[in-house]
Structure 1
Amino acid sequence: MRRPPALALFGTGYLATRVTRAGDGFLWSRTAGPDRPEDFTPVPAALARAARAARGWAVGGTRVVLGAEERVRAEDYGPLPIRGAGVVERRYPAPAPYSLGHVLGNRAAAPAHWAALPRLLERVGEVLRQVHTSFADVPVAGGPAGPRRLAHWLAGRQNIGRATRLWQEAHRVLGPERMAVAASWCTDPGASTAPPVLLLGGTGLGSQVPTPDAADCVLLTGEELAAGPASHDLGWIVGELAEFRLLHFTGSAEDAAAHCASATAALLRGYAGGPGPRPASAGLDAVARSAVLRMFTHCLDYAAFVGWDDRFPDHLDVLAALLDHPMGTIDGLTGAPVAPDVALETEES
């Protein structure tokens, strides 16, 4: 039986997404793009049981949703390229056909959700704290995929799409010393002595789907589960907010940049005040380094899985400043912190 027609289809060489109606809500289905270097991570049975027992580690109605696996049908994805027959997709029940990433990129389309971003991300921070403190023994193995992909590229071992051209441009703008710094952060963002925690992996704004009333959101997760420093999950979101604030919301959009700053502060405030012991690997310095890696990985992924963008030199200029001063992802490269009330520790604390 054919599935309902898609309300939205979008994808790259890395990931393809289809959104359809499902009763009173929506179903997000995702499968690997043809150039994705790694399959989706499996969801261990122990983790699925823990998520059910904890109601998705819910704070109010904000919670984690682990996808259910089904065989993919190429025709379901229409013209989008996917890896091929026999590959699985992940299906997630969700309350809306758009994510907080869509809201951030088009504030006029969802003004109520735009206004609610700080409150929604504060809840996300609380949920992440619960996830990170739920397991004495992490039920997954391996570090996060994004930094691993970036490390391979920095070492000259990835040449998909326009990645080689970007490497040459990055070498020119950043220089070998900054690229070496980025490579060192890929394996150690500043928290190597702390025990690993369960990481949701790539759960950024594009995987956070809000409810229609903008009161809560669900985190679509399970594709890039990993073990590593808590700073990774936080930095992945902080880096997305920093990219909008420092690259897209400048000049005439100063109010939008300030809104991103407020959302950053709220995310970190929610995490700092969440239940359970704070992981040692959630220090603000490590979060800032992970945020820089997120911005760098986004640049790489666009070149590898989408194509060349003439704005890459501007992106690399900002990355050069952030590699020298990673806390710029949080203090805006101005020295004025955007999250002055966050209780996470820095290395100087």
Structure 2
Amino acid sequence: MTSGALAYADGLDLVAEYGTGLSATRIHRAPDGGFLWWQGPGPQVPEPLTAPAAHLVPRLPPESGAAVLAVPERAGDGLLHRVSGSASAAAWLRDFRPQARALVAHSLASAGRSLRALHAVPVPDDVALGPPPGLTRLRAWADGSGELRRRTLASWGPERLERLLGWADQAAPASAPAAAPTPAGARVLVHGWASVGALVPPLGRGGRVALLTGEDLAAGRPELDLGWLLGELVELAWAAPPHDCADLQRVLLEAYGPGPDPVLVGRSAVLRVVTHMQDFATYRGWDDELLGYIAFTAELIDEEGRRAVPQGVS
């Protein structure tokens, strides 16, 4: 992190700090009682973070029940978000108290409403937005080399990898002008990294849920964002039993409302889990734990991520 990125934090209490080779996060307590989330590039990322399409993000009133789409300001080589909470929904999911579960459910419902509003924004022709960076990294991994790719291809076979890349093209094609149409016939603005790690519940009753938004804004199908969040819940239920996240999956989809194609939502959930596996190997290195992920993602591909969409919800 550059010294300039720390100027905003002079005299402020540091609440948490963590990161990987891909990204770094620092959370400080703000003078007004809120919190400042600084996100910057990790040591393996040479360029600063930017949010060039943040001006397209809608401002959602409190009475909408939607999460604040918290767009950032530049701070050094990173981005600074002002929110009402000090921990993400991902952290609250590790708390097994009923009130913590209720807080996560409330946050996911708020996120569903905010994503619905975000997806109502068409992408102007003069704004150059392609696929989310996560899908770009996934495609680069699929075309590259390395231990994870070698072992994955040996286990999956080439047909599964081809199917996965086809789903990525459905969700957000690599070539922006050829973007797949939504049901309304136009490209829409997608969050690009809708995640329980980017979803921040308020610490007190007076605050609003926030979804950190900006860096990964992209053009694509709305199902991509829903699948991204649902894929994380599916992964959690698999990786950390006794988590059963079907109730949380249902909360998100019901709050978002009708319209998304459940098949594309399920496929997007698979894209999220594979992207997490690939990012782990790229930015943290090989670990034998990834052998389990290779087998798990093969199952997800074969079922097209259907477990991400609870029965009766579409």
Q: TM-score, normalised by structure 2?
A: 0.85
Structure 2 equivalent of residue 69 of structure 1: 74
Residue type of the alignment partner of 1:155: D
Q: CA deviation at 1:176?
A: 1.3
Q: Which aligned pairs between 1:122-133 and structure 2 lie closer than 5 A?
A: 122-133=109-120
Distance 1:27 1:127, change over 3 A: same
1:219 partner SS: strand
Residue type of the alignment partner of 1:268: L
* Separation in structure 2 between the aligned mates of residue 25 and residue 116 of structure 1, nearest angstrom: 18
1:185 partnered with 2:167: yes
Higher alpha-carbon deviation: 3-12 or 313-322: 3-12
* Separation in structure 2 between the aligned mates of residue 98 and residue 46 of structure 1, nearest angstrom: 26
Structure 1 equivalent of residue 154 of structure 2: 172
The partner residue of 1:89 within 78, 82, 91 is: 78
1:294-330 CA-partner distances (Å, limit 9, x unpaired) = 0000001111112222221111111111111113332
Partners of 1:198 and 1:226 within 8 A in 2: yes
The partner residue of 2:21 within 1, 4, 13 is: 13
Partners of 2:88 and 2:201 within 8 A in 1: yes
* Separation in structure 2 between the aligned mates of residue 314 and residue 230 of structure 1, nearest angstrom: 30
The partner residue of 2:223 within 228, 231, 255 is: 231
1:66-111 CA-partner distances (Å, limit 9, x unpaired) = 011121xxxxxxxxxxxxxxxx21111121211001112x214x65
Structure 1 equivalent of residue 130 of structure 2: 142
Q: Which aligned pairs between 1:1-349 and structure 2 lie closer than 5 A?
A: 2-23=10-31, 24-36=33-45, 40-44=49-53, 46-47=55-56, 51-52=58-59, 54-55=60-61, 59-60=64-65, 62-71=67-76, 88-104=77-93, 106-108=94-96, 111-135=98-122, 137=124, 139=127, 141-156=129-144, 164-189=146-171, 192-194=180-182, 195-213=186-204, 216-249=208-241, 253=242, 256-257=243-244, 260-272=245-257, 278=259, 282-330=260-308, 338-340=310-312, 342=313, 344=314
Partners of 1:41 and 1:225 within 8 A in 2: no
1:244 partner SS: helix
1:205 partner SS: coil
* Separation in structure 2 between the aligned mates of residue 45 and residue 146 of structure 1, nearest angstrom: 18
Residue type of the alignment partner of 2:249: T
For this pair of structures, how many residues does the alignment match? Answer: 294
Residue type of the alignment partner of 1:13: G
Residue type of the alignment partner of 1:148: T
Residue type of the alignment partner of 1:224: D
* Separation in structure 1 between the aligned mates of residue 225 and residue 290 of structure 2, nearest angstrom: 25
Q: CA deviation at 1:230?
A: 0.6
1:69 partner SS: strand
Q: TM-score, normalised by structure 1?
A: 0.77
Q: CA deviation at 1:58?
A: 6.8
* Separation in structure 2 between the aligned mates of residue 89 and residue 212 of structure 1, nearest angstrom: 24
Partners of 1:113 and 1:210 within 8 A in 2: no
Residue type of the alignment partner of 2:25: T
Distance 1:61 1:183, change over 3 A: closer
Partners of 1:261 and 1:339 within 8 A in 2: no
* Separation in structure 1 between the aligned mates of residue 54 and residue 150 of structure 2, nearest angstrom: 44
Distance 1:37 1:10, change over 3 A: same
Q: CA deviation at 1:33?
A: 1.0
* Separation in structure 2 between the aligned mates of residue 339 and residue 41 of structure 1, nearest angstrom: 39
Partners of 2:269 and 2:305 within 8 A in 1: no
Residue type of the alignment partner of 2:164: A
1:7 partner SS: strand
Partners of 1:147 and 1:187 within 8 A in 2: no
2:252 partner SS: helix
* Separation in structure 2 between the aligned mates of residue 264 and residue 304 of structure 1, nearest angstrom: 28
Identity of aligned residues (%): 31
Q: CA deviation at 1:148?
A: 1.5
* Separation in structure 1 between the aligned mates of residue 214 and residue 54 of structure 2, nearest angstrom: 12
Q: CA deviation at 1:37?
A: 7.2
Partners of 1:264 and 1:339 within 8 A in 2: no
Partners of 2:66 and 2:111 within 8 A in 1: no
Partners of 2:54 and 2:214 within 8 A in 1: no
Return 5+ residue gaps in structure 2 as ranges. 1-6, 173-178
Return 5+ residue gaps in structure 1 as ranges. 72-87, 332-337, 345-349
